[in-house]
Amino acid sequence: MSVITPFTLEDSTGIKRSFPSARRSLVCFIKEDCPTCRLVLPVLAAINDSLSSELDFFIIGQTSSGNSRLMSEFDPPFNLLDDSALKVSFINDIEIVPQVFLTDSGGHVLVERSGFVREEWQELVAELFEQHAITQHTVEWDSLPSWRPGCGSLSVDPLHAERLQAEAENSPIRARRIEMGSQDDEFEFMFDQGFTDGLPVIPPTPQRVLSMLQGTSLDPQEVIAIMPPNMAKVTVEKVAINAVMAGCRPEYLPVVMAAVDAVCTDEFNIHGVMATTMGASPVMIVNGPIRHLLKMNMGLGALGQGNRANATIGRALRLVIRNVGGAKPGGTERSTFSNPMKFTMCFAEWEERSCWDPFHVDRGFDANDSVVTTLAMSAGPTLILDETTTEAPVLAAAIGEATKGMFNANWYASSNCLMVVSPEHNDVFKRDKVSKSALRRDIQKASEKSVQELIQGPSASPEQLAGLAQLPADRRIGKFGAEDHIEIVVAGSEAGKCTAFFHGWIPRSMGSIPVSRKIDDYM
């Protein structure tokens, strides 16, 4: 025998009524725009006229405005109960309205009817009248159709179902909920709470978070990483909340989670990246089939605005770092100037337009793997323009020459960078069959300065001078700590003979090492 879950609801006069009562009850769920509900309302009224002294009536409407219209139009002898929040309908698994229950004083269901089948309703009413010796009543059965289907309950409507699931006792959402006043503006409230990066965020309502969680099969409470400086547990749910705020779609969630895992490694060193005065920030590069599934931008404007996936995936990572990890400007984040990459920087490599292996293949993954790689970069992108060179060695030298002033003209033998080569520049390297390793070698060579030049540089520090003094004056030293500290990918428009590069951070031995994660592991 099923049981109606106890509840308390207000009726149309504001009086609270609780179920179960001390005697048998008739409970019926209806909604105003359901023709069958409107059909049975006079029947319920007639039953009430005859049995109100024997039964308690709980006629529950699913919209408060609809209840007002029904009360005005039908003037029933009972006041409709307001379940506009739909919680009572949800916890009692109401799928169809009208749905009527006859219960005992403990709430146990004795009889249940859905929709309207005249014969079944006649049997129920006849039994009730017989039990209570009622011989006269006002139910006009002959004027009623033999059958009418019910309508779908609002509690199973997709517009409400996710919210109701989130509010249920066993909801997968466990994060602390923050109540806001009825007159508060939700966007201003998020600013006031300090949850934003300075731009508006999407309020992470339960239904939005549940929708976001559909993007992964992982348990919402699974811990992905421990994030400094708070050393906070980053759960799938917490990533989903921040992905909602960033404006992500559910299918973006695995990419965000993979990136979160990557930056929380000791190798990446997210605490150092966010705390440095140099303004470093993660740059995310996405490779593999998922680029197309998410419609990421890898072509015209790939490093800028205009693409939802690029913009919101990068922003979601920043919000997790801020809201879960606790890295906030003025706190542990101490960047002297900061930079726009603190909002977002995520793009996809245009693998199909490259003459080289994709970036993730260079890093040991299969070409068919979907991978996100995080790199710590301090500035960029900086444009290197060369519209006339047609020979690969000359173009490589021009790119290398442009890196000499990165950070400081005397900062040598320790830097790293990310080169984003445009398709037109890539065509030059393709024609001359220049490999990535050869390009790195040529860039490093073109960036060289002699020990004498560095000693005479205007910004040489005492420590640097002491080290250089031990070397031959004609020794050539490259800008970068090693050739493989020059990362190379292809992206950008078909039109434009240029290369963009991001300035790295401090030497990898004491700074940050790029980290990659396979995205499928988070789906």
Provide mean pLDDT across the span 18-32.
94
Instruction: Give residue-wise pLDDT tens across range 320-335.
Output: 999 999 999 999 999 9
How far apart (Å, rounded) are the C-alpha atoms in residues 499 and 380? Answer: 12
pLDDT for the residue numbered 170: 61
Q: Is 455 within 8 Å of 416 (Cβ atoms)?
A: no
Provide mean pLDDT across the span 453-471.
78
Range of lowest pLDDT (133-137, 186-190, 449-453): 133-137
pLDDT for the residue numbered 335: 92
pLDDT for the residue numbered 460: 66
How far apart (Å, rounded) are the C-alpha atoms in residues 436 and 439? Answer: 5
Whether cis (ω within 30° of 0) applies to the bond prior to 98 is: yes
3-class DSSP state of 510: coil
End-to-end Cα spacing for the chain:
41
3-class DSSP state of 106: coil
What are the residues whose beta carbons fall under 8 Å from the beta carbon of 386, sequence distance 6 or more?
395, 398, 399, 425, 497, 498, 499
Range of lowest pLDDT (119-128, 299-308, 337-346, 389-398): 119-128
**Joined tokens for residue 71:** 């009360």
Provide mean pLDDT across the span 118-134.
88
Q: Is the pLDDT of residue 507 over 90?
A: no
Q: What share of the chain in percent tops pLDDT 90?
A: 78
Q: Is the pLDDT of residue 465 over 80?
A: no
Tracing tokens 């995936």 back to the chain, one arrives at 313
Q: Is the pLDDT of residue 188 over 90?
A: yes
pLDDT for the residue numbered 177: 74
3-class DSSP state of 382: strand
Q: What share of the chain in percent tops pLDDT 70?
A: 99
Strands 417-421 and 486-490: parallel
Provide mean pLDDT across the span 111-134.
90
Q: Is the pLDDT of residue 408 over 90?
A: no
**CA-based radius of gyration for the chain:** 34
How far apart (Å, rounded) are the C-alpha atoms in residues 396 and 503? Answer: 17
pLDDT for the residue numbered 169: 58
Q: Is the pLDDT of residue 1 over 70?
A: no
Dihedral angle of Cα 111, 114, 119, 124, to the nearest 10 degrees:
20
pLDDT for the residue numbered 350: 98
pLDDT for the residue numbered 436: 97
Secondary structure in 3-state letters for 420-470: EECHHHHHHHHHCCCCHHHHHHHHHHHCCEEHHHHHCCCCCCHHHHHHHCC
Of the two residues 461 and 294, the one the predictor is more confident about is 294
Whether cis (ω within 30° of 0) applies to the bond prior to 282 is: no
pLDDT for the residue numbered 483: 95
Range of lowest pLDDT (243-247, 337-341, 418-422): 337-341
**Joined tokens for residue 451:** 């020990």
Of 95, 110, 111, 109, the C-alpha closest to 149 is 95
Q: Is the pLDDT of residue 116 over 80?
A: yes
Tracing tokens 């049995």 back to the chain, one arrives at 51
Q: What is the band of 206 on the pLDDT scale with cuts at 50, 70, 90?
A: confident
3-class DSSP state of 477: strand
Q: Is 97 within 8 Å of 29 (Cβ atoms)?
A: yes
Instruction: Give residue-wise pLDDT tens across range 234-288.
Output: 999 999 999 999 999 999 999 999 999 999 999 999 999 999 999 999 999 999 9
Provide mean pLDDT across the span 333-356.
96
How far apart (Å, rounded) are the C-alpha atoms in residues 453 and 460? Answer: 10
Q: Return the H-helix or E-strand segment holding 29.
A: strand 25-30
How many of the other CB atoms lie within 10 Å of CB of 175?
A: 15
Q: pTM here?
A: 0.74
Please provide residue 148's backbone torsions phi and psi, each rounded to the nearest 5 degrees.
-145, 130
- Overall fold of domain 7-167: Glutaredoxin (3.40.30)
Question: What are the distances in angstroms from CA 379 to CA 22, 279, 376, 406, 417?
Answer: 73, 8, 10, 9, 10
Instruction: Give residue-wise pLDDT tens across range 383-404.
Output: 999 999 999 999 999 999 999 9
Mean of the per-residue pLDDT values for the chain?
A: 92
Provide mean pLDDT across the span 54-74.
94
How far apart (Å, rounded) are the C-alpha atoms in residues 84 and 155? Answer: 10
Q: What is the DSSP letter of 448?
A: -
Question: What are the distances in angstroms from CA 153 to CA 69, 80, 149, 460?
Answer: 18, 16, 12, 75
Provide mean pLDDT across the span 466-482.
87
Provide mean pLDDT across the span 167-174.
69
How far apart (Å, rounded) are the C-alpha atoms in residues 252 and 195? Answer: 20
Q: Is the pLDDT of residue 457 over 80?
A: no
Could you please report the per-residue DSSP string of 311-335?
HHHHHHHHHHHHHTT---BTTTB--
Provide mean pLDDT across the span 57-75.
94
CATH 3.40.30.10 in the chain: give the residue spans: 7-167
Tracing tokens 């950008």 back to the chain, one arrives at 492
pLDDT for the residue numbered 215: 97
Of 181, 219, 1, the C-alpha closest to 109 is 1
How far apart (Å, rounded) are the C-alpha atoms in residues 173 and 165? Answer: 9
Provide mean pLDDT across the span 445-466.
82
